[in-house]
Structure 1
Amino acid sequence: MRGLLTLACASAAVASASAFLVSTPCAPSSSSAAAAGRLACRRAMSMSKGFGEPPPPKKVKAPKSEKSIQRDAAAKAYEEMSAAGIPEYNILIKPAGTDDYLPAGVMAVPRSQQVSEAIFEQEENLKKAAFRVYDKLAAYDEFEYGYTLKMFPDDPVTPIEKRAPSTNPVGKFFEGLLSPVNTAGMKGPEINPPPK
């Protein structure tokens, strides 16, 4: 009887001790979960960093090129002019003698300056921008330009011709008066001011 009692105590001790055991994914407690445990163990081991070589450092971004810095400065100047209410124009380009215009960029041109003068001042930059988008244009030598107001892109394209800039101040004044005006962002005077 004593042997039976010892056996019962030993089995009770093992049962109570197994209650404190924690099964880990790498050591499953039952044979039915052995496959799932091995899979979880592999996943856990693959996620660990280990003692191997550290990964190579991340590549540092290359500094911006001079042209990229110039483009960023021009974009900032354009945004400032646009915010100030200066008229914006879609600039279009086409090879000489063809019919279809292609967009070359957007310009904000002060009312005191003719659009054609502004386009020909920036002709090289417009060509470079157009060549970046339409690489087949680089095969042509001569181009024609046109523009539309950005507010009205469906208006017909106004073609421009290269001419000498005007030096007549009276003529410039009247051209500035007659140029299209963008008043979308401007505040006008109040007709009936509120009483104070």
Structure 2
Amino acid sequence: MMVDTAGRLHTLAESRLADIVGVSTVAVTTDGCVLVVLQSNRNSASQSLLAPSGSGSLEPRDLDGDDLHDVVRAGMERELCEETGLRRDEIVRTTITGFARWMDRGAKSEFFGLTELSVTRQDLVTRRPSRSERDFTAAMRFVEIDLAAYGRELAAGADLPSLPALITDSGSVPLLLALRAAARWTVRAEPKEGDRVHP
């Protein structure tokens, strides 16, 4: 699917691959819950599995920023709002935490992020996805995950870092990678002993 009969890479115009850029973010409420989305059985990937809070592909309307980071964050936040019913003014910030490629999906590129919210879990329990997403989003779940502790376990080389059973049993590949990237970023962002803290 990536090369012609002579072994040359197909151009994007010739490729039968989707040639899309994936974006996934995990959102954390002010009371420390990670918001995850249960995909319906109508999704093209990760049917009936838990997915990141916002997950999908970049669209032309995301191309409003000055650089790639702005475009990726815009796509992550758009997907997050569409799939959860969050409002843009409830998003504090989104940080890009990682990048990977899905080899079994034609090496599709995927950016991962961590989104801090200004609302609690209770503020979101009655939210619904946008009308266009209702066939694909079955439900929202809130999971208590200590991203810093998970990141420290990963940094220490733990064979099986602790995640709630709900995540390990039903988490999609994008969710597991997004959580891993967010946890590792959280640990890198923590102040180290001896760092000066400015008031």
TM-score over 0.5 (shorter chain): no
Question: Per residue, is there more helix in 1 or in 2?
Answer: 1
Between 1 and 2, higher relative CO (CA 8 Å, sep ≥ 6) is seen in 2
* Structure number with higher strand proportion: 2
TM-score (norm 2): 0.25
